[in-house]
A and B are shown apart, each in its own frame.
Chain A
Amino acid sequence: MSTPVSPLGSVLAGQAPEVSISRDLVKRGLFAAPVVVLGGFIADSGAGAASAGFALALVLLNFSLAAGLIAITAPISLGLMMGAILFGYIARLGLITVAVLLVKDLSWVSIPVLGGAIIVTHLGLLFWEMKYVAASLAFPGTKPNKPYLSKSRPPDKHQAKD
């Protein structure tokens, strides 16, 4: 009989996959930035373009903060990671609210474009990244250059026999 171990007391060592994913998301966000800003410009000229750029920056910052919180707390304890994720969710939502409330009255801000761009860029980047991650999880051999997807994979039984 093994002694029961509390999952909350466990720690996770090794690489943080969230950081790699958020770095990937930021990279993709920067690639998509001209398209997002152009979309904002078409929707509401200069104010729309500036608002779309601001929304993209907010979304990328939000992803980076979420990943940073998990990466910092996971090696300490899983319980702390859980708490950090839950309180971090509220804190990040509050940060986005404060950021929008601070700029809402400025002349270069278009509220409808800002709101739309926040949703579109958040979901768009996630679907873009998810497509890549889902394919890598289903066929790990196809993406050997991503350490966060292949490191934790158990050894292949068939390979061991050969």
Chain B
Amino acid sequence: MEAIARLIAAEAAAAAEAGTTTGDGLTAMGAGLAYGFAAIGPALGIGNLVGKSVEAMARQPEAAGMVRTTMFLGIAFTEALALIGFVVFILLKFA
């Protein structure tokens, strides 16, 4: 416990020396969380989407063209969510 408290105190002193505030730290944390969480949802979505598409293509190979078409568009739409998270990250961090 004492070691952690000492570490936090040292970090706070270093931050004060560098001229950063708690607000800056929270912004950086928020940016990281926004990007990280925004990437998790689409990853699950794409996994589910592709899994079901593979199943559909294996069941009905004659419909593979249609399934692949809709799968590709589905992937791109799902990925848009991650891109929104990324844009929130760059806006919070660099704008």
**Among A5, A18, A119, A129, contact of B80 (Cβ-Cβ < 8 Å):** A119
A152:B50 contact, CB within 8 angstroms:
no
Residues of A within 8 A of B50 (CB): 81-82, 85-86
What band does the interface of chain A fall in when counting residues whose beta carbon is under 8 Å from B? 35 or more
Could you tell me if A112 and B63 are in contact, using CB atoms closer than 8 angstroms?
no
Stretch from B3-11, B12-20, B83-91 at the A interface: B83-91
A116 interfacial by beta-carbon distance below 8 Å: yes
- Check A10–B47 contact: CB distance below 8 A: no
Q: Is the CB of A8 within 8 A of B80?
A: no
Residues of B within 8 A of A86 (CB): 43, 46-47, 50
Assembly CA distance A96 to B82 (angstroms): 11
Given A12-B64, A74-B68: A115 in contact with B87 (beta carbons within 8 A): yes
From A8, A21, A115, give the contact of B72 (CB < 8 A).
A21
The answer on a CB contact under 8 Å between A122 and B73 is no
**Chain A residue with Cβ nearest B95:** A111
In the complex, chain A residues whose CB is within 8 Å of the CB of B87 = 115-116, 118-119
Chain A residues touching B, majority SS: helix
Instruction: Say which residue of B51, B70, B76 sits within 8 Å of A82 (CB atoms).
Output: B51
Give Cα A137 to B51, complex, Å: 22
Q: Does B66 contact A (CB under 8 A)?
A: yes
**Given A86-B43, A118-B83, A133-B69; A100-B90 close (CB under 8 Å):** yes
Distance to closest chain B CB from A64 (angstroms): 12
Expressed in whole angstroms, the Cα–Cα distance for A22 and B72 within the complex equals: 9
Are A152 and B62 in touch, CB under 8 angstroms? yes
Which residues on B sit within 8 Å (CB–CB) of A133? 69-70, 73
Say yes or no: B66 contacts A12, CB within 8 Å. no
Residues of A within 8 A of B (CB): 5, 7-8, 10, 12, 14-18, 21-22, 62-63, 66-67, 70, 74, 78, 81-82, 85-86, 89-90, 92-93, 96-97, 100, 104, 111-112, 114-116, 118-119, 122-123, 126, 129-130, 133, 137, 148-149, 151-154
